[in-house]
Structure 1
Amino acid sequence: MARLLPRRSRIGVVELHGVIGTTVHPGAYFQLLDRLERAPRVGCVVLDIDSPGGSVAASEALYLKVARLRQKKPVVAFIRGTGASGSYMVACAATRVIATPSAIVGSIGVISLRPVVAQLMERLGISVSVSKSGPLKDMGAFYRPPTQEEEQKLQSLINELFGTFVQRVAEARHVEMDQARRSATGEVYAAGRARELGLVDELGDFDAALDMAASLGRVPRRVAYLRPPRSMRERLLERLGTWAMEGLWEDTGLPTTHGLWYL
């Protein structure tokens, strides 16, 4: 029976669940996607996405990796629950995007958050001595408010990253930049509205995503789940860290580290 199957006889399924850059570690996924790119028996890949996004660098890196994989074999992005911001960017690298009718899609934008504890430090009698090579070397420091120049430079950086995001959406969804910008308000959309806006191709469940993958890859509907390899220590530390960090994230709705985020 095995001889009757085509050489590319499987659909590879990769789960992208959680925050990109913390729960979803790009390095481990790079290795996995490299394996899928070289795997002769995998004719198509389904990315099972349920993620609020994540760091700019990690999301961008995954987008580029999936885009490279797509050059070798079809990729279907299946948005199971949430495909927002950075994870939606990753979905845009796929050949086709399908979402469950109840999925949340969009949140196209960039955000930068950092705590400023200058007043608290003052009340506690804590000061910080800084020696620096230039006026912007401690830009983003937690121990003082940003200057007007720093805010302008940060906004310029955000605008540039946002422009790249919108351009990727426009190219992936085959729409004009103006249309992509109109959808890129930072808001999230129900899957039906996202389809009307051209952000997804179809609505359907996981079985529909597998059917789409089988058709695009011209392979039987045989599924192989692939997950990044992790040691026992990594699994334990990740689980403990994830409980704490994602609990704080859920309570506040904000990232727990300073940086630029596709959220």
Structure 2
Amino acid sequence: MGLWLPVGTGVGVMELFGPIAGTRRLSEYTSTIEGLKNSRRFKSVIINVDSPGGLATASDGLYCAVSRLSAEKPVVAFVSGACASGAYLASCAATKIVVLPTAVIGSIGVLSVRPILQDLLDRVGVHVSVTKSGRLKDMGSFYRNPTEEEKRKEEELIAGFYDHFVSVVAKGRNMDESKVREVATGEVFLGEKAKALGLVDEVGDFDSAVDLAADLGKVARRVMRVRRRPSLTERLFLRFTDSMLQETMAEAEGLLHRRIYYLG
């Protein structure tokens, strides 16, 4: 795998659009980021963000990838629409964050979602037989309501995800954790308010982000948009198989189990 690369040096631009979900999507992002990190053609990078966030683990994986990139060269996160929850977590690894005045920023928090089908199963006469080795082994299952103990355990789990989110923001934005917790209520803020709260660095447009990235990278103001080049295997696979259908089926199956989200 690789990148479609223009000739010369300049500011690399990649897009982070839509929900952060699924191993396939995360792999595409991390592959592109790795290519940007390793290429000498890009002296700095802009990540154009318009995302509501997504799965907690995928968002954290993206944060780690952006952290490795920003350790090698300046990274500017430019928010053209939404930068909420997991997308904001990942953006905190950037060197600077520039947002449009009407961009939606924040939604720092955690969401745990799963369907509970016990009543429906009872009505249609379906009973689930479970054999387990520990009383909490099937915690979070869709076929029964949670016990009080399981509710407490889940709250502890969510608190751990939340604490991690807060620590990432505090580190990336150079803020005290107590200050982060004051704004980590799950709400979102427009550009100017987000700047006043210390969640972003500048309010401006894409040209402002390019100017900043070029200055940080000490490179000519030349925008070089990149996208990942599919491997031969992927191209052959996509020719004969509807990969989006496969991913949709996998996501549908996952809905029967508890999912943890950094989602706005």
1:94 matched to 2:91? The reply is: no
- Match in the other structure for 2:57: 57
CA gap 1:14/1:155 in 2 versus in 1, 3 angstroms: same
* 1:112 aligned counterpart, secondary structure: strand
Whole-Å Cα distance in 2 between the matches of residues 213 and 21 of structure 1?
28
1: CA distance, partners of 2:48 / 2:23: 15
Answer yes or no: is the 8 Å Cα contact 1:11–1:221 preserved in 2: yes
User: For 1:153 and 1:37, how far apart are their aligned partners in 2?
Assistant: 40
Q: Check whether the contact 1:20–1:54 (CA below 8 A) recurs between aligned residues.
A: yes
1:25 partner SS: helix
Q: Which residue of 2 aligns with 1:31?
A: 31
Amino acid at match of 1:193: K
- Residue 59 of structure 2 aligns to a residue in which SS? helix
The 1-side partners of 2:184 and 2:243 are apart by: 32
What is the one-letter code of the residue matched to 1:145? N
RMSD of equivalent CA atoms: 2.5
**Higher relative contact order (CA closer than 8 Å, sequence separation 6+):** 2
Deviation readout 1:98-153 (Å, 9 max, x if unpaired): 01111000000111000001101111111100011111111110000111111111
Q: Unpaired segments of 5 or more residues in structure 2?
A: 1-7
Rate the CA distance shift 1:23–1:57 in 2: closer, same or farther, 3 A.
Answer: closer
Q: State whether residues 142 and 257 of structure 2, in contact with CA within 8 Å, keep that contact through their aligned partners in structure 1.
A: no
Q: 1:25 to 1:220 in 2, by over 3 A?
A: same
Structure 2 vs 1, CA of residues 202 and 24 (structure 1 numbering), >3 Å: closer, same or farther? farther
Structure 1 counterpart of 2:258? 258
Q: Which residue of 2 aligns with 1:175?
A: 175
**1:192-211 matches, cutoff 5 A:** 192-211=192-211
SS of structure 1 residue aligned to 2:228: coil
* 1:107/1:237 CA distance change after superposition, 3 Å: farther
State the identity as a percent.
44
Q: After the TM superposition, list the runs of 4 or more consecutive aligned residues in structure 1 that deviate by more than 2 angstroms.
A: 228-246, 255-258
**Superposition TM-score, scaled by structure 2 size:** 0.87
Who is 1:18 aligned against? 18
The residue matched to 2:77 in structure 1 has which SS?
A: strand
Cα pair distance change 1:224/1:243, threshold 3 Å = farther
In the alignment, what sits opposite 1:185?
185
State the 1:258 CA deviation.
3.5
Q: Provide the residue aligned with 2:5 in structure 1.
A: none
Letter in 2 for 1:153: K
Q: Would the alpha carbon gap of residues 98 and 27 (structure 1) be closer, same or farther in structure 2, given more than 3 Å must change?
A: same
Amino acid at match of 1:79: V
> Is the CA contact (8 Å cut-off) linking 1:84 and 1:108 kept in structure 2?
yes
Contact kept in structure 1, 2:115 and 2:256, CA below 8 Å: no
1:23-49 Cα deviation digits (max 9, x unpaired): 971112222211111101110010000
Structure 1 distance, partners of 2:196, 2:72, is: 29
